[in-house]
Structure 1
């Protein structure tokens, strides 16, 4: 069985450039490569967004992922934020049933990531960095006109959903609306 649904999110909130909001690791220590406190709040809220207790999702395009993918940290870009964003969800899903949490692909390896995700069983969820989100979308859809060709820097509150219908893929955007200040609009 091959994957017929891929959901794509940007990693949760990062530390601010002015250091007003610092990054913290799981132990609560300062870590500029980890999420901000608000980012950890979003990561926690994503758990029931993608794995609701009653399986009633807030949007019909969403599904419980069976495979998780997060951008791998590299020496030249050691950000752990994509992995941090999915860590609480991975812990819950592993407690319920074994799910793969794949952190094997660096930014720049989006084509290989998409090939791996397309071969995965069931729905897949990818957390990635905003500059190359459109590369993932284009690789899934097979074109560069269906999905927006940028992900706005300030948006961490959207899900791009790709569904296989027959031999073609469809594209939907779902606002998360999980935390105060999340926006209901989508990327044009």
Structure 2
């Protein structure tokens, strides 16, 4: 059962900050290393062990137990969304990735929206109050960005090998528009310090 927290009915921009991440590391088909569920069962639609490791590190990134957040652009979420797994028929990875931080903060993950419903998801996220965290499938994250920004100024391709970036959308109270900042996670070995580039067409 899903639950929307701190969100309004109207499609008005009120969320101060929306943070979007790609799910953690995934298996490459039905070959080792395998994806595993939270119970340790082999599952092609779940995260690799490395992905679960990232999920745990993200909980500390967004909700540190001691001290300040690693980046001033980040904030502790009050609402968490993830792509629906369509009753077990598609990827569980977005929800798995945000589940650890949600559990730490005693929040329920809202899985109302599926991949392909990025416009509806963006509208719901923008209507929330406070800070929102979204876990999604990488090929469709630019569509979320376009809906939030109202333009295509964000990178329009999320590289298949990047699991290590947070896209942060901050609401400008004066213009009632969002501005995108990229925060490199730098959580696991091999994480890049470089943002995802905008590729000119």
Q: Which TM-score bucket, shorter chain as reference?
A: over 0.9
Shift of 1:168: 2.0
CA RMSD of aligned residues (A): 1.5
Contact 2:36–2:48 under 8 Å retained in 1 = yes
- 1:184 corresponds in structure 2 to 193
Q: How far, CA to CA, are the matches of 1:14 and 1:156 in structure 2?
A: 10
Residues 49-68 of structure 1: pairs in structure 2 closer than 5 A: 49-54=61-66, 56-68=68-80
SS of 1:7 mapped into structure 2: strand
1:157-185 Cα shifts (integer Å, max 9, x gaps):
00000001122211100000001111111
SS of 1:4 mapped into structure 2: strand
Q: Which runs of 5+ in 2 are unaligned?
A: 1-5, 7-13
- 1:19 corresponds in structure 2 to 31
Q: How far, CA to CA, are the matches of 2:157 and 2:40 in structure 1?
A: 32
Q: Which runs of 5+ in 1 are unaligned?
A: none
Deviant stretches of 4+, over 6 Å? none
Name the TM-score, length of structure 1 as normaliser: 0.93
Contact 1:66–1:100 under 8 Å retained in 2 = no
Which of 103, 107, 121 in structure 1 is aligned with 2:111?
A: 103
1:51-75 Cα shifts (integer Å, max 9, x gaps):
0124511111100000000000126
Q: How many residues are treated as equivalent by the alignment?
A: 183
